[in-house]
Amino acid sequence: MMFSNSIIAALLVSGANAFAPASSAGRAATDLGLYGEPREVQIIPSVLPADFGKLGADCKALEDAGVDRIQFDVMDGNFVPNLTFGPDTIKWCRNYVKTPFETQLMVSEKCTDAMLDQFTECTKGPNGEPGVVIVHVEACTHLHRALGKIRDAGGSPSVALNPHTPAEMIENVLDLVDHVLVMTVNPGFGGQAYIPTMTDKIKKLRKWIVDRDLDVDIEVDGGIKATPETIGACAAAGANCFIAGSGLFAYDDMAQGVKELTALAKEYQAKEE
């Protein structure tokens, strides 16, 4: 049977449409230039720039500044070239504040496996509310198992990926997590400069999450300041949770820092990408 060129072209077009994602049908793009509606902006300072000799007092100062959560960067000198603290220190800090905690485990697989329950427990709220526990995909051979253990132990399972790690490494666990953390610097030290090429990774993750109708926040960590090039670019790409360490501690009045970071993130959520 012979077909005219016009018929063949029509068949090719209809065939291509047949493979379009069903979830995107009828879904309108928002001002984000992506799918879905903007999510609530949250400012989450890392305690890495704090004075470890008075860590509890610095956590109280962050709470008074109006932050949404406080992040503890756990480093073991193996997965990253630095040492910070263990679960006991996080537990002591709970005596000073009621603000929710999140713990990012920048540790080796052996440490993750051995201490995951302890970190999940110490990250909980003052009344046992789930705290955010973040494991790195690079340190978890059995990532599904680690995320399941966090959920079973009463935590909020979340996953992080380093700058060189492609988004595809966590594509098959998005249904298991509450947060995805995109590292926008190489982990291990505070005060580093934001890596601009991470913006496209944020966009890709955002599209997957919305197309699958998942309730997942995107966090960014590293070099985040009250500038269009950092928090602005991340917010426009679809992130809504912003880890600001030195970028917040640089303010004499950290409450003012929280206000400026929040305002800029909301402004850029409304901009086209």
Task: Write down the catalytic residue from 58, 73, 178, 217.
Answer: 73
Residue 156's identity, in one-letter code, is S
Tokens of 31: 């001002």
Cα 198 to Cα 63, 184, 185: the distances in Å are 29, 6, 9
Q: Catalytic: 221?
A: yes
Q: What's the Cα-to-Cα distance from 180 to each of 126, 157, 174, 241, rounded to whole Å?
A: 24, 9, 8, 10
Q: Is 33 left (phi over 0), alpha (psi -120 to 50) or beta?
A: left
Tracing tokens 């005060």 back to the chain, one arrives at: 191
Is 266 exposed, middle or buried (CB count within 10 Å of its CB: 0-12, 13-18, 19+)?
Answer: middle
3-state secondary structure 89-143: HHHHHCCCCCCCEEEEEECCHHHHHHHHHHHHHHCCCCCCCCCEEEEEHHHCCCH
- Burial code (b: 16+ CB inside 10 Å, e: under 16) for 214-234 equals eebbbbbbbbbbbeeebbbbb
Q: Which of 58, 178, 217, 221 is catalytic?
A: 221
Amino acid residing at 242: F
The tokens for 248 are 């917040």
Distance (Å, whole) CA 204 – CA 206: 5
Catalytic site positions: 73, 221
